[in-house]
Structures are given as structure tokens and as C-alpha cells.
Structure 1
Amino acid sequence: MDDPGYDITDLEGIGSIGQYPFTLIVNPEYDHIEDIDDLVDAYEDGEFTQFAMQGIGHSTHVISFLLRDDFGMEWEEVVPYDGGGPTSEAVISDEVSVGIATATSAREPVEGGDLNVVANLSSEPTDVFPDLEPATELGYPDIDFVAMTTLALYAAPGTDEEQIETLTEALEEATQDEDVQDWSDETGNDVTYGDPESANQTLEETLDEIPDAVDLDNLQE
């Protein structure tokens, strides 16, 4: 909320702890929508005109424009909600019939029959929905830089190297803890340690690729 006094590009990586993909969710009344091809066709035919996402400026806002411009999902109105929970609730209630959710957050409502999940937007399979093919395998663009979320930790520029090393060692130990890995296996939440270099690379690639893919000035307006 406040100016930290440095640029985000100068952050120093501590490490990463895992990844999760975004998925496309549909109200279960529309059971004829079985995959992303069906969804793209439904938008083209005018069956759906809105798309629910998780807030102005959120990564799902960026994804919504990529879905429209690069996937052919021709929504007419993008509807922002205050986070993933409200977005899923909007789709469950059919306030907006189609939206976006992380694989892990969609799992419980899908198992309960309250949602259908029809697309994995990443290029990698997800253990949460192992039968859901990655969108790239169906011929859609690779948008992992925004559709595959990496959970990473960073320190402010100029942080003492010994402090970063201490935090990195603690992070590696925590991610490899037996109880944490058991939880990961049970829930499908990927918990995998990544070193500081991988965290820095993730930040650099994201900051390079998003402006090339989306007109951020227009998005902010």
C-alpha cells in the first residue's frame, strides 16, 4: 500500500515453495461444456458473454485478456470479484456462469458437484485434476508466466547476505519436512523447494513477459 522506497525489479530472491495452475470453472448446469474447446465455442455462439475474475489488477485480470485475445474466448464483459472465494461463489450461483480459480481452491466445490472445471491453463498437468489436459496440449498458447502461479519469497534490496542465507536454509528445511510433504500428497498442493536463483528468474521472466502480452496502460484505465 505504501511506497517501499525501491523498485520491485531489485528484490532479492529467498526461494520458492511450489506452484499451482489456474483453471476455468463453469456452473454445473452447463454440463455440455466439457473442455476448453466447448467453452470457446460457447462464447463465439453468444451463449456466454461475461467472465468472472479475481479483481482489477489481479493476475486473473491479465489472464482474462489473454483468454479473449489469444484463446478466442470472446467475452464482452469481465466481472471483478474480491478474491477467489467470491469468484467461485458467483459461478456456483450462476450470477456469472464462467470464471477462473486455482486448481486447489476449485477442488472441493468440484467434488461436491457445485462446479465443473473444464480447463487447466498451464502447460503442466496438475495432481488436483490429473485427467484435465493442459491447455497447451490442446493447441492453446503457453501462458505459464501468469497462469502458473509460483509462490516465492523475496527480501528488500540490500538485505544482509547472512540473513538471506538463514531464511533460504529455513525455507528449504520447511518444504522438505515429512509432514509438509504428506500434506502436499493428500491435497494436491505442490510444495517443492526452489533456490534463490529460481525465484529471481521467475520474477524476471514475469516482468518481461506480461508487458509484451498485455497492454497494461489500457488495462489500468
Structure 2
Amino acid sequence: MGAISAVGMSGLAGCLGDESVTWMIPWSEGGGTDQYARQMQPLVEEELDGSIEIDNREGAGSMIGSEWLLNQDADGSVFGTVNPAGWTFTWRADPSLDWEPSEFEPIAYSGIFGYTIIVNNDYGIENFDELRDGYEDGDISGFAYQGSGSDSHLVTLLLEEEYGLNYDNAVPYDGGGPVQEAVLGDEVGAGIATNTSAAEAVDSGEASAIVNLMDVDLMDTFPGIDRISNYGDSLGWLTEFYQVQVAPPGTDEDTRQEIADAIEYAVEHEDTQEWMDETGNIVEFGNMDEAAERYNEAAIEEMEENVEEAVGGFDVFLDQTEEED
């Protein structure tokens, strides 16, 4: 069962009916996708004049929640957030799935975020060089990533193979929230977290964001943060994601447009803009067509080409993950 949070408002506008709407997040509470949704939740409710329930359905690198959403009624009572290109990467890496991302109906996108490396402050590590030395010398143990077979799993492999990060043990967790908790609790010394959950970890005073894995500049959020591009090729194609809202197959355009209008209202609201300024999270609205472009066939083909260039293709990546298991 997912973890559900609701704000007590009644009634919904227009074609959405009298029941509350469920906003499915395929990651755990506390991760980047969840934090974006919870920031915008009351504003979306305000515009819809109704109740939004956030339903966290984590697991399998967002595939459990995505498959659940795929099978819901197309009546406007439920929508979700997915994070291409990471979402489409994880889908492509799981040959057991019998559905296509294109089956989902696009609504909008509401922001851009991505990966950083966070480290427990007890180790006194401030940059990527020091992290590499820490693992090499045995001074730090364990490296966390977000789901076996996921985009962050490939990032973890690339950090070892191409960037010399010789961690002793790589450990999968279900999302940025659990990675953050694992690093703060020193279950692992360091790990991959979204910049959103990394900011929360830094605010705790118990961890630091030491490496920006994206191309997006995070200096305003994490002054002095190191960049992985200082040590090799850009990983932006694999580490930057869009907050894309989608609906079950067959959800009509008018219903989706009503939700899109509410998301646009939330994105542009002064409360969200202040949150963006305070946290460094990138909030941006994209319409239905722009959302669809993030997970259409051309986007998936581009991602496949990048994986081919990076490790020799998805078959090679899957073989590597099987060897780890």
C-alpha cells in the first residue's frame, strides 16, 4: 500500500467530479519527486477547488507505481509524476515489462532536477578526489544508489569504471529519501541523491553535497560544490530529469488540461517561486506537448544511443547488474 497524504478540502472543479484526485508518486516520501509534489499540492488543490491525495508507491526504480497508474480508471481521478529520462531508462532496462511509456497520456511538466553525491559529515570529505581517496584507503564504506537496474545504478557503475570511484560495496535503495536516511545514519558513507533531497540532508547538518552529477549549475544551492565534469565526460543525459505529470491511457484531453492548468498555477505561484529561490530547485512549466516530448519514441532512441556509447548497450548493462546480484 502507498503512503497517502491529504489536505482537507472538499469538491473538485469541472469535469473531475466530486471525489478527491490521487497524485501518485512512484518514489518514497522525502525524495525529490515527492518534495516537488508536496510543495505544489495545496496550490493545485486551490486551483481545482478540491482535494489532492499524494500516494507514494515506491519500488523497482519507479516501475511499481508506474504500472499501478497504467491500470487505473481513465476518469481524471488519478494522475502521477514520472521522471524521464530516468523513468524511460529504467523501463527500457526491465525486459519483463509488457507496456510502453507512450501508453500514458501527457499532462504537463513542472520542474527539472537531478543527481548529486552526498556524504556523511563524519568523514570530512569535501570533493570527488577526496571521496575516491577515502574509498581507496578504506576510510569510508558503502555507496548508495536508487534502485537495481535504474539510471542511478548505471551512474554508479560509470563512476567506478570511468571516474575511478572504487567503492567497496554498492547498495540499492528505493529513492532519494531512503538514500538520504542511509547516509545520515551512516549505513553507507556516501550515495546518490537528488539535489532536492541533498538540500534537506545538508540542512540537517549531518551530510554534505560534494559532487554535482548534472550539467545544471547548483552553485547557488551548494556553494563550492565539485562537478563530475571536472573528471570526465558529462553525465547530464543520465542524471537530469523532468517532473512530468501523466494520466492513465484513455484519459480525455479536457480532463488533462484542467489538471495542467492547475499545475501551471502552482508552478507560477509566488509561494512556489519563493521555494525555488530558497532551495535552488528548478521549477518550470511545460505544456502537454512539451511533456510528451520527454518520453516519446525519439527520446527513448536518443537514450538508447547514449547507453550504447557509454557501456555498449542495455544488454551489457543488464549483464553487469546480473553479475552484481
> Normalising by the residue count of structure 1, what TM-score does the alignment of the two structures yield?
0.81
Q: Does 1:217 align with 2:311?
A: no
Matched with 2:177 is 85
Query: What is the aligned counterpart of 1:170 among 249, 262, 266?
Result: 262
What are the superposed Cα offsets for residues 35-75 of structure 1, whole Å, 9 maximum, x if unpaired?
Answer: 11322344345544531123324442232122222322122
Considering Cα pairs closer than 8 Å and 6+ residues apart, tell me whether 1 or 2 has the greater RCO: 1
What is the aligned-residue identity percentage? 36
Measured in 2, the distance between the counterparts of 1:206 and 1:30 equals 39
Partner secondary structure for residue 64 of structure 1? helix
Return the offset for 1:22. Answer: 1.4
Are 2:123 and 2:140, in contact at CA under 8 Å, matched by a contact in 1? no
Are 1:146 and 1:206, in contact at CA under 8 Å, matched by a contact in 2? no
Deviates more, 1:79-88 or 1:202-211: 202-211
Partner secondary structure for residue 180 of structure 1? helix
1:14-163 superposed matches below 5 A: 14-31=107-124, 33-48=125-140, 50-126=142-218, 127-136=220-229, 138-163=230-255
Are 2:149 and 2:318, in contact at CA under 8 Å, matched by a contact in 1? no
Deviates more, 1:178-187 or 1:126-135: 126-135
**Length, aligned pairs only:** 219
CA RMSD, Structure 1 to Structure 2 (Å) = 2.8
For structure 2, the residue ranges without an aligned partner over 5 or more in a row are 1-63, 72-98
For structure 1, the residue ranges without an aligned partner over 5 or more in a row are none
Return the offset for 1:115. Answer: 0.9
Measured in 2, the distance between the counterparts of 1:140 and 1:203 equals 27
Q: 1:219 to 1:170 in 2, by over 3 A?
A: farther
Measured in 2, the distance between the counterparts of 1:106 and 1:155 equals 29
Return the offset for 1:219. Answer: 5.3
Measured in 2, the distance between the counterparts of 1:161 and 1:89 equals 39
Supply the AA of the counterpart residue of 2:288. P
Measured in 2, the distance between the counterparts of 1:22 and 1:170 equals 27
